[in-house]
Structure 1
Amino acid sequence: MKITDIQASLVEIPLAKEQRFAWVPGSVVKSVKFTLVKVFTDAGITGIGASHVCFGEEVLYSVHNLVKPYLLGKDPLATERHIETLYSANYFGTRLWLVDQALWDIVGKAAGQPLYKLWGGFQDKILAYGAPSEPRAPKEHREVVQHYLEKGYKAIKLRLHNESPKEDLAIVEAVRDEVGDRMEIMVDANQALLLNSPKPHPVWSYERALMMARELEKLNVYYLEEPLYIYNFKGIARLTQETDIYIAGGEWNGPIHEFKWLLDQGCYDILQPDAMQSDGMFRMRQIAHMAYLDNKLFIPHTWGNGLGLVANLQVALSVPNCPFFEYPYDPETFGVEMNQAMIQEPLRVDAEGYLHAPQGPGLGVELNEDLIRRYTLR
């Protein structure tokens, strides 16, 4: 089998309602933009992949100029050779793991199996935690968390972005009071990388992170995500060692060697790479197994689009140390149909709180081609 063509297109899907991402203070988001890639073969098999919503036009350029010339005519199944091409292209361009997704999609389709089964099939369903996007006051969180409970969710992630620790803790206290022991609570401070935003971010010191971790322990919070800057290895390791709550992070790290650095220095209890941001899908599995050998958990970050979700899900289901899966869903602004609009059959959390593996070959899903054509910019 040989690669005959690689096509990339820039797609922008308008949102039904404006979003205000808590991790980008003051932001108003009206659409989701991403690059879609298709890798064609002489066997009639086509692989698909998508970039994160943070990466758009620069990915389009990089695919066409830094990847396509070097993969045409090559065997698409030789993923370990091609990942080196992507590493080189990443250095001169941007993160191009969407091409790796497409290559592995071809592998699975050629074998007639979903990828998680080819990689060991540790489980075929996984507990999902709802990951809303909007900043909310404690009373609003009480109302929203009831929606998640009614839908069957057993876990939820809260975003803490207030100037004062007291305000942040009030949110967690309100939700814990509302749900009791019926839900696990995760907390995200989004301190690893403070994205450019219309309004300033609250910035956590080590002292604030330590205090918050100890207070969250009292509220039986499952993990505290990204409490410190991405490369504050000493601070992250110290916080991991000095607290009992799980400390999580890694969505902005990559490629794989950065996770080796994190593990070597004792950073984090839970590693959270992302198949759209951190590295290729099989390297994600290698990161999970490195974590496993260090007695650490692996819960991939997933907050992008439908193809990114299924790419991370295929990896998560194939490894033994992934107890939860992040499920992007905000009932008011980012519903399932909007979040996964690019695929034909969105993946939904069942009444018991589980997300099930798609059973199609490769990534397991098909594109909503009509919608893609309608919103392709070029």
Structure 2
Amino acid sequence: MKITDITLDRLRLELNPPFHAAWDPEPRRHFDATIVRVHTDEGITGIGSGDLMDGFETYRHLFVGEDPLQINRHVRAIETANFHGAYYWPLEAALWDIIGKAHGRPVSELFGNATRKLPAYASSGELKSPAERVAMALKAREAGFRALKIRIDRDRIDEGVAAVRAVREELGSGFEIMVDLNQSWRMAGDTAHASDLAKTRKTIARLAELDVFWVEEPLPYSDLDGFKTLRAENPGVRIAAGEMHHSPTELLRHLEKDTLDIYQMDVVLAIGMHRARTLAELAQLKNRQFTPHSWTNGIGVLANLHVAAGVGGGPFFEFPYDPPGWTPERRDFMLAEPVRVNSDGDLEVPDKPGLGIELDEDAIDRWRIK
């Protein structure tokens, strides 16, 4: 089998009303997605998405004419291209889609087949008042979710803690709550300093009293000693991070220094499926957990799900969900059907070969950037 072509569909869905993501300096008025298709001479086409693939045309020749099944070679080639361009991990997802289709099996089976479903947590995206967050949490529980992640702004700690307290009081101890402080990386244009260790220690101590399941991205990735301090001082709270960490060797340093309870590498935005599997298995050998970041479109959600289900990730899987601003319909506008959790709040691995992606070609034609 040979790769005959790699094509990109660049899409833009206008968001009206805009989505006020907690990590964005400005409201998000459109949602961009790039669909990668890897075509082969045997009629199998692989599909991937995640990073926007800016500048990939320069590197297409590194892959066209090659055997798509030689995944180790392609991962190394993608890493060399990443060094000079963007992050081209959606191409790896498309290659794994081909491998699964060629063998007639879901990709998760090729990654270990540890489970066919994972309990999902509703991953909120906006900053909301305590009353608004309680209303959303009740809707999430009604939809089947057993856990919710709440964002807290570094400059509005009291309001954020109040939202967590309100949800805990309303939904009780049987509903898990995670908190994301969004301090490990920055969107373009956000030049503010991260919260320092002293402030973060106080915040996590307050959250520990509310029995949060984990606190995510509390410090910049480089502050390994700070992460260790937070873990040591708060034994009842798990510390999670790593979602946008692009360096396997730096993640290995986190593993070696035992800085985290939960590793969250995103396979289509940050580090790729192959490398994420390796790091996830190393984390599990240290009795630590892997539950990937998946704040992307439905294709990226599925790619992360296949790796997590393959290696036995958990204890929960991230499901971007914060209605009315962020819904499966908005997130998955390029798919024939949005990816959804079942009535028990589990996200099931599609039983189709490959990643199980079904595109809506009419939607792609409608939203393609001309």
Code of the residue aligned with 1:104 in structure 2: it is: W
**Aligned: 1:29 with 2:28:** yes
> SS state of the match for residue 42, structure 2?
coil
Query: C-alpha distance in 2, partners of 1:374/1:73?
Result: 31
How is 1:1-378 mapped onto 2 (pairs within 5 angstroms)? 1-25=1-25, 27-52=26-51, 56=52, 59-61=53-55, 63-66=56-59, 68-197=60-189, 203-244=194-235, 245-378=237-370
Cα deviation, 1:138-187, whole Å, max 9, x if unaligned, reads 11111111111111110000000152433322111111011102310000
Shift, 1:202, TM fit: 7.7
Query: C-alpha distance in 2, partners of 1:7/1:312?
Result: 22
Query: C-alpha distance in 1, partners of 2:133/2:250?
Result: 35
Cα deviation, 1:307-347, whole Å, max 9, x if unaligned, reads 11000011111113422100001111111111111121222
Query: C-alpha distance in 1, partners of 2:74/2:144?
Result: 41
Code of the residue aligned with 2:20 in structure 1: it is: R
Query: C-alpha distance in 2, partners of 1:193/1:119?
Result: 29
Shift, 1:270, TM fit: 0.4
Shift, 1:353, TM fit: 1.2
Query: C-alpha distance in 2, partners of 1:240/1:370?
Result: 49
Cα deviation, 1:17-61, whole Å, max 9, x if unaligned, reads 310001124x22121112221111001000111133xxx3xx242
Query: C-alpha distance in 2, partners of 1:193/1:60?
Result: 20
Query: C-alpha distance in 1, partners of 2:139/2:111?
Result: 35
Shift, 1:194, TM fit: 2.6
Query: C-alpha distance in 2, partners of 1:167/1:18?
Result: 22
The CA RMSD over aligned residues, in Å, is: 1.6
Query: C-alpha distance in 1, partners of 2:272/2:156?
Result: 38
Query: C-alpha distance in 1, partners of 2:279/2:22?
Result: 28
TM-score by length of 2: 0.96
TM-score by length of 1: 0.94
Cα deviation, 1:84-120, whole Å, max 9, x if unaligned, reads 1101100000100011001000000101111012222
Cα deviation, 1:231-278, whole Å, max 9, x if unaligned, reads 112211222233211000001112322210111122111000001222
The list of structure 1 runs, each at least 4 consecutive aligned residues, that deviate by more than 6 angstroms after superposition, is none
> SS state of the match for residue 4, structure 1?
strand
Code of the residue aligned with 1:335 in structure 2: it is: T
Code of the residue aligned with 1:45 in structure 2: it is: I
> SS state of the match for residue 38, structure 1?
strand
User: Gaps (5+ residues) in structure 1?
Assistant: none
Shift, 1:203, TM fit: 3.6
Greater shift in the superposed pair: 185-194 or 202-211: 202-211
> SS state of the match for residue 323, structure 1?
coil
Greater shift in the superposed pair: 166-175 or 282-291: 166-175
Query: C-alpha distance in 1, partners of 2:31/2:119?
Result: 26
Query: C-alpha distance in 2, partners of 1:301/1:65?
Result: 28
User: What percentage of aligned pairs have identical amino acids?
Assistant: 37
> SS state of the match for residue 83, structure 2?
helix
Query: C-alpha distance in 1, partners of 2:356/2:140?
Result: 26
